[in-house]
Chain A
Amino acid sequence: MLRLENVRKQYQDFELDITMEVKPGYVTGLIGRNGAGKTTAFKAGLGLIRTEGEIMLFGKPLSKIDARDREKTGVVLADSGFSGYLKVKDLVVILKHLYHEFDERYFTEKCREFDIPFDKQIKEFSTGMKRRLQVVAAISHNAKLLIMDEPTAGMDVIARDELLTMLREYMETEGRSVLISSHISGDLEGICDDIYMIDGGKVIFHEETDVLLDQYGILKVTKEQYEALDKSFILRRREEEFGFSCLTKEKQFYLENYPEVIVEKGSVDGVMTMMIRGESR
């Protein structure tokens, strides 16, 4: 659906160098700290910045993507949106003329459901409301790929849950994909099929979410326990007051062979912290 192959973008104090893929039927999550390069990666994939390397969207090089292909994407950006001087009632007319498959009924129903006012300038909206509007607009024209940078930012728990439900409903139609970033790892764990972690502009980790949650774990060991540990399956370690935290992809191996060791279940937050803060064993 979307593939970035050795995509590089050099800024004065930051370099993006990334390879990643959003497969058909997949919800792919992108996580990383602030300034890790998530938004730059999104912008690269959307052709908003000039990059080196190869970007393929719907099987075509990005340079060959035309307006009709663009209709097959729905986008939510963290730092940009519809002009604040427009009203939602204006958007209905505009979107109707921009997208051949714009579903006006769905759009207006969802706006009402989310209490989005039709007759108020968008600049008057709260951050959460702006996000909701963008998400509804992105979903309402039968897009094949949703690209969403922090779509849940500024939303309360209920609104986030509603939005994630909407994304799950969206994915019920075959052949659709989503690329999503969020600083709330719980959102990603609940919806993503695979997750990329980036840091310093590079992918530092990629795994299927099920594998991450089922097979990864974090061992909490004293220094003595660590010395006695079979380290074949330790990916990262981090020094702690009590000894070490160790990231492993073979949680079961340690549960079976080291019953005295505390093994925490793998989580996106845990793995990310270990991948960024930890060191190679």
Chain B
Amino acid sequence: MKGLLIKDVKLMLGQLMFLIILAIVGALIVVPGGEFGMGFSYIASVSGLLAVTTINYDSYDNGYSFLFTLPVSRKGYVKEKYVFALLSSAVVMTAVGLLLWSLVAASHPGKTYAFVKYMKDMWSTYRIILTALSFLLPIFLEYGAEKSRYVILIACGIFMALAAMFTIGEPLGELFEGGIKGMVSFLLSAALLTGSYAVSCSIMERKDF
């Protein structure tokens, strides 16, 4: 798995310019008004999508055929994709989130958005990412690069909708409050992710390359 993780990190770093552009766009969304509402949706979309784009790189130009001649089982590949998606989305989300928070704090000294509250909202955003990834990973594994142009559009919609619902819509947002509700929500996310992993494994097991 380590070799595959390194491959995906290298592929992601290859998109460094793209990451910088995304950060600038994020700054343009958040900094002028000093509001994070749309910023969270944006962070969730960007982090989650970046995590699944490596699937496109793998499937592009019939790449899976060669990939599965390497010492990589199909189940091992799926496992790596989930681990990478969870880790990379957390890292990108934290990096972009902190950058945007710093920019807002610097440009709007009067507006206070407590760092602790900010991090708590980020954690909510992360669980939205996990929920969205639970749907997106099997879709990307099923359709690969060929049909992903359409899938990406749908994915953006899913991300933005989920993010908007959970971060702006108060009743749903409360699901991510602490205590029992928080625990239930965490378990639901974990169950969804586990189910998604099982579906993804079965998708890859039955594929011909």
| Interface, chain A (partner B; CB < 8 A) | 43, 46-50, 66-68, 70-71, 73, 75, 77, 79-87, 90, 93-99, 121, 147
Contacts and interface: CB of A to CB of B under 8 A. Distances in A.
10 contacts: A43-B65, A48-B208, A67-B73, A70-B72, A80-B61, A80-B66, A83-B58, A83-B60, A94-B3, A94-B4
Contacts of A90: 6-7, 10
B66 A85 contact: no
Contacts of B76: 67
Contacts of B157: none
A98 B5 CA distance: 10
B69 interface: yes
B3 A75 contact: no
Interface string B71-84: 11100100000000
B25 interface: no
Contacts of B65: 43, 48, 77, 79-80
A85 B2 CA distance: 19
Interface residues of B, number: 27
B62 A80 contact: yes
A50 B204 CA distance: 12
Given A86-B10, A94-B6, A81 B71 contact: no
Interface in B54-72: 57-58, 60-66, 68-72
Contacts of B186: none
Contacts of B68: 46-48
A49 B71 contact: no
Given A77-B66, A80-B65, A67 B71 contact: yes
Interface in B7-58: 7, 10-11, 14, 57-58
B117 interface: no
Given A67-B71, A81-B63, 18 more contacts: A43-B208, A49-B209, A50-B206, A50-B208, A68-B71, A71-B71, A75-B70, A77-B66, A80-B62, A80-B66, A83-B7, A83-B63, A90-B10, A94-B3, A94-B7, A97-B6, A98-B4, A98-B71
A97 B9 CA distance: 13
B69 A86 contact: no
Contacts of A93: 6, 10
Contacts of B71: 67-68, 70-71, 98-99
